[in-house]
C-alpha cells in the first residue's frame, strides 16, 4: 500500500458565532479562501492538478448545502475536471475527509487531493434549520438527540470532574492561545475575507470586504476567578458553563494530500505522513468520552504507547470531557503536559476549542492544520488529533513528521 503525504494544511481564523468577523460571510467564501490558500502555499502545484475536493460539514444544508465540496471547486476556479463531495461524521467530519482522501491515495485511486471542513455556525444553526428526528427512536433512545451540554454534564457527574477542574483547564486553554497569538505561532492561518453588508448614503446595501488573520474568541483577560462566577447553562446545579465549553465558531480549513509519485512529479517536499485513523462508538449520553477510547484504539493499530506521542490535539468540546479523556490516557495529573507556561506541554500546546472555537464540521481539518504546524515547527515525530463526536463516537488520527 502506498503512503499518503500531507503537503500543506491551512485554516481560516476561527471567529465567534454572530458576533465575530465572519458573521456575514457565507461559508462558501470561507472555504474558497482555505482551499485557495492551500494551493498558494504549495509552489509548483496548480488548481488544475487537484483531482478531487472532499469537505466535511456537520449541517450540509442552506448556504452549506448543494454539495459544497463541488460548489467550492467551481467558485475557487478549479477546472471542471476537479470533482467534489461533502461528508458528515458530525464533529469529526473534517478529519473524516482527510482519512478518506488518504485512503484513496493509499489505494492508488488518486494522486493529488484536497480534504477540508467548513461550518458557519452563524448562518446555519446548530441542529440545522429543520431537524426531524425519527419519532420511534426519540422514544426508544432519546439520548441520541440530547443537547451536547447535557452529555458534558453527564461526564462531569459520572466521572467526578468537578467545576474547579473544568475552570482551571479552561483558563489554561485561553492563556496558551493568547500566548500563541502574541508570538505569531498560528502560522497555519491564511488571511480570510470578512464580508460586512452596510447601508450606503443612498440607501443601497453594499458589501465591505476586509481581511481577518486572527482568532477573535481568545480572551487573554480570563481568570479562574472570573470563570468560577459563571452560571451553569445546561443543568440547574450543574458545572458546565459557557466559560468551560467550546465556543460556537465560524471557520474553514483545507489539507492538501499527495502520493509519493505526485511529490516526485511536482518536486514538492511533504510535511507529514497520514498514518492511521480510528473511530469508535460510545454511549450517546456521554459522547464526550470518545477520545478516551479512540486514542487507545489508534495506538494499538500503530503499535505505539501514549509516551511515544510527542504532541496531542484533543478537541475541547467541553472541559469535562477533555479532562476525563486526558485522565484515562494518563495525561492530566502531570499538569506540566498541558498547562500554560510549561516547556513540557504536549496537549493542546496552543490552546484548544474553549479559546479557539469549535466550528464543528471544520474542526477535524482545523486541528490537523494546527497539529502539523506544531510538529513542523518543533520537529516532533508523532502527533495525534482526536475528538468526541455527536451521537456517541470518538475519532483519532496519527500523523508522522517527514524528516
For residues 327-356, one letter each, b for 16 or more C-beta atoms within 10 angstroms of the residue's C-beta and e for the rest, the string is: bbbebbeeeebbbbeeeebbbbbbbbbbbb
**Active site residue: 15, 110, 362, 388, which one?**
388
Which residues of 302-377 form beta strands (DSSP E)? Answer: 311-314
CA–CA gap between residue 355 and residue 316 (Å, rounded): 9
Q: Considering only CA atoms, which of 148, 142, 97, 109 is closest in space to residue 126?
A: 148
CA–CA gap between residue 69 and residue 86 (Å, rounded): 5
What's the DSSP call for residue 12?
A: P
Please report, in angstroms and rounded to a whole number, the separation of the first and last CA atoms in the chain.
21
**Active site residue: 91, 110, 174, 362, which one?**
91
Question: What is the β-pairing status of strands 382-389 and 393-401?
Answer: antiparallel
Is 388 an annotated catalytic residue?
yes
Residues paired with residue 115 on neighbouring β-strands, in sequence order: 54, 255
**Active site residue: 172, 174, 350, 358, which one?**
358
CA–CA gap between residue 178 and residue 195 (Å, rounded): 25
CA–CA gap between residue 66 and residue 368 (Å, rounded): 26
Contacts of residue 144, Cβ cutoff 8 Å, sequence gap at least 6: 133, 137, 138, 284, 391, 392
**Whether the Cβ atoms of residue 240 and residue 153 lie closer than 8 Å to each other:** yes
Contacts of residue 378, Cβ cutoff 8 Å, sequence gap at least 6: 310, 311
- Count Cα neighbours of 116 within 13 Å in the Cβ-side half-sphere: 38
User: 3-state DSSP call for residue 238?
Assistant: coil
Question: What is the β-pairing status of strands 112-120 and 83-87?
Answer: unpaired
Ramachandran quadrant class, 334 (left: phi over 0; alpha: psi -120 to 50; beta: rest): beta
Is 362 an annotated catalytic residue?
no
**Residues taking part in catalysis:** 91, 358, 388
Amino acid at each position: 500500500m502506498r503512503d499518503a503525504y500531507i503537503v500543506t494544511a491551512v485554516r481560516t481564523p476561527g471567529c465567534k458565532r454572530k458576533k465575530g468577523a465572519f458573521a456575514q460571510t457565507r461559508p462558501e467564501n470561507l472555504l474558497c479562501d482555505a482551499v485557495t490558500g492551500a494551493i498558494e502555499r504549495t509552489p509548483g502545484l496548480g488548481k488544475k492538478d487537484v483531482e478531487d475536493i472532499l469537505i466535511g460539514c456537520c449541517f450540509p444544508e442552506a448556504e452549506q448545502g448543494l454539495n459544497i465540496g463541488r460548489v467550492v471547486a467551481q467558485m475557487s476556479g478549479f477546472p471542471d475536471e476537479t470533482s467534489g463531495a461533502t461528508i458528515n461524521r458530525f464533529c469529526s467530519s473534517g478529519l473524516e475527509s482527510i482519512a478518506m482522501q488518504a485512503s484513496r491515495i493509499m489505494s492508488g485511486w488518486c494522486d493529488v487531493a484536497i480534504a477540508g471542513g467548513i461550518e458557519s455556525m452563524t448562518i446555519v444553526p446548530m441542529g440545522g434549520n429543520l431537524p426531524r428526528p425519527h419519532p420511534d427512536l426519540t422514544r426508544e433512545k432519546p439520548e441520541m438527540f440530547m443537547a451536547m451540554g447535557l452529555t458534558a454534564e453527564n461526564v462531569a457527574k459520572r466521572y467526578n470532574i468537578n467545576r474547579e477542574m473544568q475552570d482551571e483547564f479552561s483558563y489554561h486553554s485561553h492563556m496558551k492561545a493568547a500566548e500563541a497569538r502574541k508570538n505569531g505561532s498560528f502560522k497555519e492561518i491564511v488571511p480570510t475575507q470578512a464580508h460586512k453588508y452596510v447601508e450606503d448614503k443612498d440607501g443601497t446595501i453594499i458589501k465591505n470586504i476586509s481581511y481577518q488573520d486572527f482568532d477573535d474568541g481568545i480572551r487573554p483577560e480570563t481568570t479562574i476567578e472570573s470563570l468560577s462566577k459563571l452560571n451553569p447553562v445546561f443543568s440547574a446545579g450543574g458545572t458546565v458553563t459557557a466559560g468551560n465549553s467550546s465556543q460556537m465558531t465560524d471557520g474553514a480549513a483545507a489539507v492538501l494530500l499527495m502520493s509519493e509519485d505526485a511529490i516526485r512529479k511536482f518536486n514538492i517536499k511533504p510535511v507529514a505522513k497520514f498514518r492511521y485513523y480510528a473511530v469508535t462508538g460510545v454511549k450517546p449520553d456521554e459522547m464526550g468520552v470518545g477520545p478516551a477510547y479512540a486514542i487507545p484504539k489508534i495506538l494499538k493499530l500503530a503499535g505505539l504507547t501514549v509516551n511515544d506521542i510527542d504532541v496531542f490535539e484533543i478537541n475541547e468540546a467541553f472541559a469535562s470531557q477533555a479532562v476525563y479523556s486526558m485522565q484515562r490516557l494518563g495525561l492530566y495529573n502531570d499538569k506540566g503536559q498541558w498547562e500554560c507556561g510549561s516547556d513540557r506541554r504536549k496537549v493542546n500546546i496552543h490552546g484548544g476549542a474553549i479559546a479557539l472555537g469549535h466550528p464543528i464540521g471544520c474542526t477535524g481539518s482545523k486541528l490537523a492544520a494546527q497539529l502539523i504546524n506544531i510538529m513542523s515547527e518543533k520537529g516532533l515525530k508523532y502527533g495525534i488529533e482526536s475528538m468526541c463526536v455527536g451521537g456517541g463516537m470518538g475519532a483519532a488520527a496519527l500523523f508522522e513528521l517527514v524528516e
